[in-house]
């Protein structure tokens, strides 16, 4: 366990955004809070409720990984961990105390997993059971979870005290996972990987939906063992959504998001209210994904990699900013407390 006295407490600034839903108007304000460096690259977000949340990422200049936390819905943030032993890709919390962060070990290049059972007051490094770099993590409860990356899925049934690799019959890089319970889980990705699913806790994984060449799925979310959504991009760079309401026996492909490019994250609060994020903004649905409305679109300066929601009112999206030439300009966190009527 990394002792709390060795952790640096530091507030960082947010890019504050206000949205008038229905008009698609965003007002970007940059508060004077000081030290959210332009070299910080946020890669993941988790909010188990409307108040407590975490973001993870690394410093592009120093290759030092970080974990930041908030207890007031994103109004202020403090750093819980800063370490060169972790380049984080994904974070998962199932409640306000139990969470996991996965990625690679920066200089080692191997997999890395850190876990907490006290809301981040202390983080303990776990043996990942693989050397493959990990891109995503999901947990069903305090004991049962999965992490995945390049042609690899590892699983735990003891909260991460031990991780074991699971057998896969397909190749490709896994970019996102979601689970409904300790038995039913899904994985999506790229490089020939279709939608993978297990219904027996990971004993076997089967491909439910093969992807055409050149397609990538960057996000997946499930409401239960039957209702699952995935988002990504086709071979032409157009955003796509897929949905199933029978656990994956059948999947429906839709090009229903206007002007969407690469899509990387999806979250649903209930069967009708959902959000997706990607290279050019945020989109929302109130009819289960049959139609989507653009809440914000910016094809040049904003690329959002993750979204989390707590009910139909509270939401957060994270990603990166770029200048007019596509050069990295730092990260951003967007948040709403009224279902998207306004953002701050």
Summarised one tens digit per residue, pLDDT across range 288-337 is 998 888 887 765 578 899 999 999 988 899 988 877 777 777 788 888 77
172: tokens are 């490709």
CA distance linking residue 206 with residue 14, whole number of Å: 41
Of residues 196 and 327, the one with the higher pLDDT is 196
Residue 54 β-bridge partners: 46, 69
The pLDDT value given to residue 37? 61
Q: What pLDDT is recorded for position 274?
A: 92
Q: Are 46 and 93 in contact (CB under 8 A)?
A: yes
Report the SS3 class of residue 156: strand
**Adjacency order of strands within the sheet including 40-46:** 40-46, 53-59, 65-70, 78-83
Percent of the chain at pLDDT > 90 equals: 59
The architecture that CATH gives domain 4-336 is 7 Propeller (2.130)
Range of weakest confidence among 5-9, 34-38, 137-141: 5-9
- What is the pLDDT, as a whole number, of residue 43? 94
Greater confidence (269 vs 293) lies with 269
Pairing of strands 302-310, 152-156: unpaired
Give the chain's mean pLDDT: 85
């Amino acid at each position: 366990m990394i002792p709390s006295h060795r952790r640096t407490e530091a507030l960082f600034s947010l890019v504050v955004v206000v949205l008038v839903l229905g008009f698609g108007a965003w007002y970007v304000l940059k508060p004077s809070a000081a030290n959210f460096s332009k070299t910080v690259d946020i890669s993941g977000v988790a909010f188990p409720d409307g108040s407590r949340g975490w973001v993870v990422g690394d410093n592009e200049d120093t290759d030092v990984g970080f974990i930041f936390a908030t207890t007031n819905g994103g109004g202020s943030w403090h750093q819980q961990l800063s370490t060169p032993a972790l380049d984080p890709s994904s974070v998962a919390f199932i409640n306000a105390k139990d969470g996991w962060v996965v990625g690679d070990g920066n200089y080692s290049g191997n997999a890395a997993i850190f876990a907490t059972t006290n809301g981040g007051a202390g983080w303990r490094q776990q043996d990942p059971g693989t050397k493959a770099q990990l891109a995503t993590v999901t947990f069903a409860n305090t004991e049962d979870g999965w992490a995945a990356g390049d042609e690899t899925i590892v699983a735990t049934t003891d909260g991460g005290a031990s991780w074991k690799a699971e057998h896969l019959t397909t190749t490709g890089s896994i970019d996102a996972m979601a689970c409904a319970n300790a038995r039913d889980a899904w994985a999506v990705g790229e490089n020939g990987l279709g939608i993978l699913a297990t219904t027996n806790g990971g004993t076997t994984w089967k491909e439910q939906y093969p992807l055409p060449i050149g397609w990538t799925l960057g996000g997946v979310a499930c409401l239960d063992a039957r209702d699952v959504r995935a988002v990504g991009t086709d071979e032409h760079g157009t955003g796509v959504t897929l949905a199933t309401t029978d656990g994956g026996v059948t999947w429906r492909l839709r090009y229903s998001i206007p002007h969407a490019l690469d899509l990387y994250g999806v979250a649903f609060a209930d069967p009708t209210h959902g959000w997706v994020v990607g290279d050019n903004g945020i989109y929302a649905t109130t009819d289960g994904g049959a139609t989507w409305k653009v809440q914000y679109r910016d094809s040049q300066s904003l690329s959002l990699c993750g979204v989390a929601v707590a009910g139909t009112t509270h939401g957060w999206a994270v990603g990166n900013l770029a200048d007019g030439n596509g050069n990295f300009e730092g990260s951003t966190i967007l948040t709403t407390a009224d279902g998207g009527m306004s953002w701050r």
